[in-house]
Structure 1
Amino acid sequence: MDFEELTKVMRALALQAGDKIMEIYNADDFEVRSKSDESPVTAADEAADEIISAGLRTAFPDIPLVTEEQAASHRVSARTFLIVDPLDGTKEFIKRRGDFTVNIAYVKDGVPVRGIVYAPAKERLFYTDAQGVSVEEQGPFHVGKQGHTTPITVSKPDNNALLVVASKSHRDQATDDYISKYATADMKSAGSSLKFCLVATGEADLYPRLGRTMEWDTAAGHAVLNGAGGAVVRFDDHTPLQYGKPAFENPFFIAYAPGVALERP
């Protein structure tokens, strides 16, 4: 893989998809439909997916592509692949809360090694550079011209005063019970893969997820967190979260800054 080219392509496609998403987001109204699993889908999901999948297939025709909005791609069986969630946080999009992202990642041997997370409504852009170091780019964003980037790094957490982030739309009692095992100084909610990025920038120390997620929900954020010095482990045994699992479904997991003294379930 040419990581210089991959970074360039992923950034351009994420920005193009983000522009299309915002065009629909800012419209007076948009249609919301239900998929077979009862999850919502909009024209923005489908338009962004078309942009990204076409671009990736043109640039990297020999690499398997998995994308949320194309059910046929969910039958891919591979340990190295590209994986896309063209609009993560559709519920946040529908409610016009802004916490939605474009996610593109490259998984190699079961590990997300490169990724980009773009939150167009928040005007925040995070990605791994060609060397695998995670950066945040300052806007305004232009496809053909990269702006100023700043390397990001996880916090040095204080286990007596942890900063915790949890899901905005999928918070439950089990999550609250687990968080209560820690001494927390601040608790915030965020949608989509932004939670990984808040840990990656040091704005949070810990993000536990005790709920169903798919690999396309997490791979890009996981890659950004890896590149900032963080980690994502399974909730049950604290082993590294792997990718390329059957049906691309994740177990519960914990994303965190090393230095957090992880509690057992």
Structure 2
Amino acid sequence: MDYAALTRVMRKLALDAGDKIMEIYAADDFDVRAKGDDSPVTAADEAADAIISAGLRDAFPTVPLVAEEQAASHELTAKTFLIVDPLDGTKEFIKRRGDFTVNIAYVVEGEAVRGVVYAPAKERLFYTDQNGQSVEEVGPFAKDEIGQTQPISVSHPDNEALLVVASKSHRDEATDDYISKYAAANMKSAGSSLKFCLVATGEADIYPRLGRTMEWDTAAGHAVLHGAGGKVVRFDDHTPLTYGKAGFENPFFIAFAPGVNLEKA
């Protein structure tokens, strides 16, 4: 893989998809339908998926592609592939809360090695550069030219005063019970893969997820966090979270800055 080309392509496609998402977001109304698993889908999900999938297939025709909105791709069995969630945080989009992202990632032998997370409503753009270092680009963003970037890195956590981030739409008692095991100085909620990025930038130290997620929900954020020095492990045994699992469903997990003393499940 040409990682310089991959970075350019993923970044541009995320921005293109973000523009289309924001165009629909600005409309007075938009259709919301239920998929087979009862999760919501909108025209924005589908339009963004069309943009990203066409661009990735054109640029990398031999690399398998897994996309949330393409059910046939969920039958793929591979350890190296591109994976896309064109609109992560559809519930946040529908409620017009702004915490939604475009996620594109590249997985190699089960590891999320490169990714881009773009939050168009918040004008925040995070991605791994050609060397695997994670950066945040400062807007306004030009489609065909990478602008000013700044490397991001995880915090040096204080276990007596941790910064915790958790899901905005999927918070539950089990999550709160687990968080209560830590000495938290601050607690914030965020939607979509932004939670990974908040850990990657040092704005949070730990993000536990005790709920159902799919690999397209996490791969891009995982890659960004990894490129910033962070880790993502399974909740049950603290082994690394891997990709290419049957059905692309994740176990519960914890994303964190090294130095956090993880509590047992």
TM range (shorter): over 0.9
Provide Cα deviations, 1:227-258, integer angstroms capped at 9, x if missing partner.
00000000000000000000000000000000
CA distance in 1, matches of 2:129, 2:163: 27
Residue aligning to 1:181: 181
**Alignment RMSD, CA only?**
0.3
Residue aligning to 1:213: 213
CA distance in 2, matches of 1:139, 1:22: 16
AA matched with 2:71 = A
Runs of 5+ unmatched residues, structure 2 = none
Q: What is the DSSP-based 3-state SS (H/G/I as helix, E as strand, rest coil) of the residue aligned with 2:41?
A: strand
CA distance in 2, matches of 1:27, 1:232: 37
Residue aligning to 2:87: 87
Post-superposition offset of 1:96 = 0.1
Residue aligning to 1:199: 199
Post-superposition offset of 1:14 = 0.2
CA distance in 1, matches of 2:192, 2:144: 26
CA distance in 1, matches of 2:125, 2:258: 23
Relative to the length of structure 1, the TM-score reads 1.00
Q: What is the DSSP-based 3-state SS (H/G/I as helix, E as strand, rest coil) of the residue aligned with 1:163?
A: strand
Residue aligning to 1:140: 140
Provide Cα deviations, 1:151-170, integer angstroms capped at 9, x if missing partner.
00000000000000000000
AA matched with 2:2 = D
The answer to whether structure 1 residue 43 and structure 2 residue 43 are counterparts is: yes
Q: What is the DSSP-based 3-state SS (H/G/I as helix, E as strand, rest coil) of the residue aligned with 1:207?
A: strand
Residue aligning to 1:67: 67
CA distance in 2, matches of 1:40, 1:18: 18
Runs of 5+ unmatched residues, structure 1 = none
Q: Tell me whether 48-57 or 139-148 shows the greater mean CA deviation.
A: 139-148
CA distance in 1, matches of 2:90, 2:101: 9
Relative to the length of structure 2, the TM-score reads 1.00
Q: Tell me whether 108-117 or 141-150 shows the greater mean CA deviation.
A: 141-150
AA matched with 2:250 = N
AA matched with 2:189 = S
Q: What is the DSSP-based 3-state SS (H/G/I as helix, E as strand, rest coil) of the residue aligned with 1:236?
A: coil
CA distance in 1, matches of 2:94, 2:146: 30
Residue aligning to 2:162: 162
Q: What is the DSSP-based 3-state SS (H/G/I as helix, E as strand, rest coil) of the residue aligned with 1:10?
A: helix
Residue aligning to 1:242: 242
Q: What is the DSSP-based 3-state SS (H/G/I as helix, E as strand, rest coil) of the residue aligned with 1:158?
A: coil
CA distance in 1, matches of 2:153, 2:97: 27
- Name the count of aligned residue pairs: 265
Residue aligning to 1:153: 153
Post-superposition offset of 1:99 = 0.1
Post-superposition offset of 1:126 = 0.1
Q: What is the DSSP-based 3-state SS (H/G/I as helix, E as strand, rest coil) of the residue aligned with 2:126?
A: strand
Aligned-pair identity in percent equals: 80
Residue aligning to 1:21: 21
Provide Cα deviations, 1:203-246, integer angstroms capped at 9, x if missing partner.
00000000000000000000000000000000000000000000
